[in-house]
Amino acid sequence: MAVTLAPGRTALPRRPRQDTRRFSPGRIAAWIYLGVIVLATLFPFYWILRTALSNNYKLATDPSSPLPVGFTWGAFERALGIASTAEAQAQGGSGASLDIALYLRNSLIYASVQTALIVLFSACAAYAFSRLHWRGRDLVFNVLISALMVPGVFTLLPNFVLVKDLGLTNTFAGLILPGGLFQAFTLFFLRQFMLGLSSEVEEAAIIDGAGPLRIFLRIILPMSSAPLATVSLLMFVNAWNDYFWPLLITNGQNVQPLTLALGVFKQSSPQAAPDWAGLMAAALIAALPMLLLFIAFGKRVVNSIGFSGLK
Amino acid sequence: MVVTSQGNPTTPVPPPSAAVATTATRPGRPRTVRKPGRHTPTRSAAARRRDLPAALLLIFPAVAGFAVFFAYPTLRGIYLSFTDFHVLTPPHWVGLANFREMSGDDVFWHSLLVTVYFVVLSVCFGTLISLVTAVVLHRVARSSVLRGVILLPFLISNVIAALVWQWMLDPQLGVVNIVLRHLTGHSILFFGSGGWAIPSLAAISVWKWMGYYALLIFAGLQTIPPTIYEAGRVDGASEVQMFRRLTVPLLRPILVMVVVLTVINSFQVFDIVQVTTRGGPANASNVLQMYIFDKAFRQFDFGYAATLSLALFALLITVTFTQLRLARAGESDLN
């Protein structure tokens, strides 16, 4: 544990609290600890950037240099498939091209369509389970929520067999549908929020003769915009970074998302030294959309994590 | 030491709606918290009948998704574990043969052991580092920028995390090994030696999830009223004492949740293994999920893979329930 206070502190005459709090050894230790954590968190990100801007051949000559070795944009050109094979091999690339634009497109389709569907359907169901009154409501909800108990990996194999039987392997439909209709977490999260909304506006609308669907679209959805944005963001990050399910379902570059392509890129030169510079450039391109989203909505993500945790 | 408080301290498990109000919604909006399942008095039975068609329409996609892609696969997975099934031919019933094979399968027991080792490392180090980080963020450095920074690894995929660490831990060119050679004269084959493979993978996992769990714990810390610490300070408690006697007991529900989540996630570890070691060297990092994947997609032995999945499922349920039970048994010191 890092935090300790100077012994015998209580015996000392009271100094102004500011001093004791700003310069106690415990606080210094805490800041040092925090510095180490931040460094350990950020260093790999810097190393990705530094490697991606290096010449892969020259990396071996000065592997510990904190700055890029033989600065070049070549790795990004290789990753984006705009370097010629000769150029790529001259810089220690494998010559295997990676059509990253196509994979980016696939990732974008997968993540955005799945997010849109799951958030829409979860919001509809959450409204029915929180604001409408009907026989058996809570029973049905509890049955659905039991899905939280089953680990995700258990349904992967049977789902693969199912998608295969439906003839949907290597299609966006097969990739998106299983996670696009129902996820226990999003349903739970949105219902929890909607239960807490006050019913005054709703009751006024009922007196004015509005039906349940109109109330949902005109009142409840607009009131839920904050949690809808939060859950959309979480779902998007999840789908963007998903690996296992696409690995089972897709095999061609027409559907494969970027996470899978990175693995392929790495194994494209098993005998030779891997093209680390190209790999890191590709990894950076793959991570960039998430980092940009985070810069745009950072506060919301940070807060949503506390929110989702306190079930 | 005793916490003297006027009135009652907050309950250890914050009601979800209260937590929501503190973190995710705009403050200052009036909220009436209603108990789920209670009908508002203004609604008549007739109104409830009118709700039913709309409700059925609205829940249809979710219920369909649950039935087709969740309930049916779960039941089918259980059924397949009693069959011999190689994808191309229809499954045929073999009773308990798969389970008998599993109990005598050395690779399975070894992979179970390896997985448990990974889980223990991830839980111990992950929870400890997250907890200390959260407390330091809460007591010393309240900056949302710092909180954003430690969350960065959570945003990148496991694949990228695994790739960058594999590069940094590379035996010849990896920066970690270069530093090690400077300090000790030796480099370590992190992914190439049996002893180091699992600890290296656990380190990647801890690095990726630490910020996320630290923020969960931080959210829990924010629900502890500062008056409790004031009281502690008046009683002359040191920071360490306050951490041990106040923070940890009050955080118990959140800590339990973090441990449970870490266990559930760690038992299902797959992608970082697939990208780095593929279960090697010599099965040293052949975690359960990797073994299941191998059985299903390299040997096309789906029946046996389903049996292994069922074993993992049973294991997870047991571990989770045990943890929750143990946690509940220890909740008495909270008031």
Which of A39, A153, A176, A288 to mutate to test binding with chain B, by most B CBs within 10 Å of its CB?
A153
How far are the Cα atoms of A48, A74, A277, B60 from residue A282, in angstroms, in the given order?
10, 12, 9, 41
Sign of CA dihedral B11, B15, B20, B26: negative
Q: Which of B16, B47, B63 sits opposite A311 (nearest CB)?
A: B16
Instruction: Tell me: pLDDT of B199 over 90.
Output: yes
Instruction: Tell me: pLDDT of B306 over 70.
Output: yes
Q: Which residue has the tokens 């696409």?
A: A246
Q: At residue B62, what are phi and psi to the nearest 5 degrees?
A: -65, -45
Is some CB atom of chain A closer than 8 A to the CB atom of B95?
no
Q: What pLDDT band is residue B291 in, cutting at 50, 70 and 90?
A: very high
Q: Which residue has the tokens 């209709």?
A: A181
pLDDT digits (tens, 9 = 90+) for B214-241: 998 998 888 888 898 889 989 988 888 8
Task: Report residue A128 as tokens.
Answer: 């029915």
Radius of gyration of chain A (CA): 26
Is some CB atom of chain A closer than 8 A to the CB atom of B180?
no
- For residue A15, the model assigns a pLDDT of 43
- Kindly report the nearest CA distance between residue B44 and chain A, in angstroms: 10
Mean per-residue pLDDT for B193-207? 94
- Kindly report the nearest CA distance between residue B7 and chain A, in angstroms: 24
pLDDT digits (tens, 9 = 90+) for A143-188: 998 888 888 888 999 999 999 999 999 999 999 999 999 999 899 9
Percent with pLDDT over 90 in chain B: 48
- Kindly report the nearest CA distance between residue A99 and chain B, in angstroms: 18
Plot region of A54 (φ>0 → left; ψ -120 to 50 → alpha; else → beta): beta
Burial class (CB in 10 A: 0-12, 13-18, 19+), A20: middle
Q: Which residue has the tokens 């604001």?
A: A131
Given a cut of 70, the residues of chain A with pLDDT beneath it are 1-23, 81-98, 264-273, 304-311
Widest CA span of chain A, in angstroms? Answer: 80
Q: Which residue type is seen at A191?
A: R
Question: Per CATH, which fold does A108-254 belong to?
Answer: MetI-like fold (1.10.3720)
- Inspect the interface and report whether the beta carbons of A34 and B140 lie closer than 8 Å: yes
Q: At residue B93, what are phi and psi to the nearest 5 degrees?
A: -65, 130
Radius of gyration of chain B (CA): 25
Which chain A residues are closer than 8 Å to B148 by Cβ?
294, 298-299, 302
- Among all residues of chain A, which has the CA nearest to that of B21? A307
Are A103 and A228 in contact by the 8 Å Cβ rule? The answer is no
Secondary structure string (H, E, C) spanning chain A: CCCCCCCCHHHCCCCCHHHHHHHCHHHHHHHHHHHHHHHHHHHHHHHHHHHHCCCHHHHCCCCCCCCCCCCCCHHHHHHCCCCCHHHHHHCCCCCCCCCHHHHHHHHHHHHHHHHHHHHHHHHHHHHHHHCCCCCCHHHHHHHHHHHHHCCHHHHHHHHHHHHHHCCCCCCHHHHHHHHHCCCHHHHHHHHHHHHCCCCHHHHHHHHCCCCHHHHHHHHHHHHCHHHHHHHHHHHHHHHHCCCHHHHHHCCCCCCCCHHHHHHHHHHCCCCCCCCHHHHHHHHHHHHHHHHHHHHHHHHHHHHHHHHHHCC
- For residue B200, the model assigns a pLDDT of 95
Instruction: Tell me: pLDDT of B170 over 60.
Output: yes
- For residue A24, the model assigns a pLDDT of 80
Q: Which residues pair with B83 in a beta bridge?
A: B93
Mean per-residue pLDDT for B134-157? 88
Q: What pLDDT band is residue B17 in, cutting at 50, 70 and 90?
A: very low
Are B20 and A193 in contact by the 8 Å Cβ rule? The answer is yes
- For residue B2, the model assigns a pLDDT of 35
Instruction: Tell me: pLDDT of B35 over 80.
Output: no
pTM: 0.84
- For residue B330, the model assigns a pLDDT of 54
How far are the Cα atoms of B147, B217, B249 from residue B128, in angstroms, in the given order?
17, 11, 15
Among residues 6-25 of chain A, which lie with CB inside 8 Å of chain B?
9-10
pLDDT digits (tens, 9 = 90+) for B239-279: 888 888 888 888 888 888 889 889 989 999 999 999 888 88
Task: Report residue A297 as tokens.
Answer: 């909505």
Instruction: Tell me: pLDDT of B11 over 50.
Output: no
Which chain A residues are closer than 8 Å to B310 by Cβ?
154
Residue-averaged pLDDT of chain B:
83
Instruction: Tell me: pLDDT of B78 over 90.
Output: yes
Are B211 and A41 in contact by the 8 Å Cβ rule? The answer is yes
Q: Which of A48, A147, A158 sits opposite B66 (nearest CB)?
A: A147
- Inspect the interface and report whether the beta carbons of A182 and B66 lie closer than 8 Å: yes
- Inspect the interface and report whether the beta carbons of B76 and A158 lie closer than 8 Å: yes
Which chain A residues are closer than 8 Å to B178 by Cβ?
63-64
Concatenated DSSP letters of B44-97? -HHHHHHHHHHHHHHHHHHHHHHIIIIIHHHHHHHHHTTEE--SSS--EE-TTH
Among residues 95-134 of chain A, which lie with CB inside 8 Å of chain B?
121-122, 124-125, 127-130, 132-134
Is the pLDDT higher at B6 or at A69?
A69
